[in-house]
Amino acid sequence: MTPAPPGPTGPSRRTFLKAGGFGAFAIGSAAVLPLFGTNGAVQDPMTCKAKDVSASAKKLVVSNWPAYIDPPAKKYVTTLKDFEQLTGISVDYTDDVSDNAEFFAKVRNQLSACQSVDRDLMVLTDWMAARMINLGWCQPLDKDKVPNLHQNLIPALRDRAWDPDRTYSAPWQSGLTGIAYNAKLTKEVGSFEALLTRPDLKGKITLLSEMRDTMAFVLKVTGADPEKFGDTEWERGIDYLGTVVRGGQVRAFTGNEYIQDLTAGNIVACEAWSGDVIQAQFENPDIKFVVPEEGLNLWSDNMLVPNKAQHLDNAEQWINYYYEPEVAAKLAAWVNYICPVEGAREAMEKIDSSLVDNRLIFPTEEDLKDTFDFMALDENQNKKYEGEWSDVTGG
């Protein structure tokens, strides 16, 4: 997959985090924080719920990641403002999700005790969304009230093992994890195995500090399926990575700050997120994104309604609105990640035609056919794997 040059849109969410000093706490860094056990914290969303007062209280409280929505500008009506005008719902929108594990720690005591977290929607990455759904901390969505989600969600995101019918979750934006390299400094790196073994790359690469992103590829390299594996496959993979690290192949495990080192030439290749590469290509066309021979890791940040939310119907209206292709295109034109909404590519023609053929925003079904996810972990697996990952990476 060779992406077209990106259009002249604003900075990405991760660029915002980096500029604001949050580089160590981007999506990929959650693995370095402790995730406490949650035994006895499982709830039943059918009984742990609040009365929905949406009909009388036209209000919605949303927690999202920084710089993950189109910002206000002169003579420009944002998607959020348009939603408020169309529905009469007042939105209290906050960007207080700067890290999955950090946010989990912020809300775990209330959700584990069936108490309100004073939010109606929260946006979390696949693995954390799976964790919260498995703990019974999220309310199901009424399929009849979010028809656009089920009609317009791109096929590649429809059947996740942790939420196969999208009963609890709706992707806000998605992205691809693959390989980036600086074509001025090295030849193409065509596989993750090559990234980990090529002698000319020794000490000149970085891997992501997000355990699931990196280990999904390591499991692939060692012959396992990252969507379904056991302790034996895990041990083989983590031992292999340990050998690679001890051999000096990896310069560092990082959050999104890797893109600065790649652009500056401090490293020549790395594991990378597609949205970062789009942004880097604005200033340095030598930065290339590669689909590894092992495939691509496709991830999403997902809208979830926590237990005890009082405005479920208003939240469902928000989700349905953002799955209108025209709305999704306006959002995608700014955030530059994969748009999860079918029809948005055609709608983009009227917004920014330079982005229509960018396959890191609108990948084809062929592009996504070999994508994979990381298996949802139970609490015991999570504790074991995160601990062994930290031992190898020094996290």
In this prediction, residues 246-255 reach a mean pLDDT of 94
Contacts of 384 (CB under 8 A, 6+ apart): none
Task: Say what the pLDDT of residue 24 is.
Answer: 25
- Fold classification of 175-298+376-394 (topology level): D-Maltodextrin-Binding Protein; domain 2 (3.40.190)
Cα–Cα distances in angstroms (integers) from residue 55 to residues 119, 309, 310, 311, in the given order: 17, 14, 10, 9
Residues of the chain with CATH 3.40.190.10: 38-168+305-323, 175-298+376-394
121 phi and psi, to 5 degrees?
Answer: -145, 140
Angle ∠(61,62,63) on CA atoms, nearest 5: 130
Q: What is the dihedral of CA 215, 219, 221, 227, to 10 degrees?
A: -110
Per DSSP, the residues of 149-218 read HHHHB-GGGS-BTTBTT-SSEEEEEEEEEEEEEETTTS-----HHHHHH-GGGTTSEEEES-HHHHHHHH
Task: Say what the pLDDT of residue 39 is.
Answer: 52
In this prediction, residues 67-73 reach a mean pLDDT of 92
Angle ∠(394,273,186) on CA atoms, nearest 5: 85
Q: pLDDT tens across 304-357, in order?
A: 999 999 999 999 999 999 999 999 999 999 988 899 999 999 999 999 999 999
285 or 369: which leads in pLDDT: 285
Q: pLDDT tens across 270-299, in order?
A: 999 888 888 888 889 999 999 999 999 999
Residue 222 clears pLDDT 90, i.e. is over it: yes
What is the pTM (predicted TM-score) of this model? Answer: 0.82
CATH architecture of 38-168+305-323: 3-Layer(aba) Sandwich (3.40)
How large a percentage of the chain has pLDDT more than 70?
A: 90
Q: pLDDT tens across 36-64, in order?
A: 444 568 999 999 999 999 999 999 999 99
CB 202 within 8 A of CB 249: yes
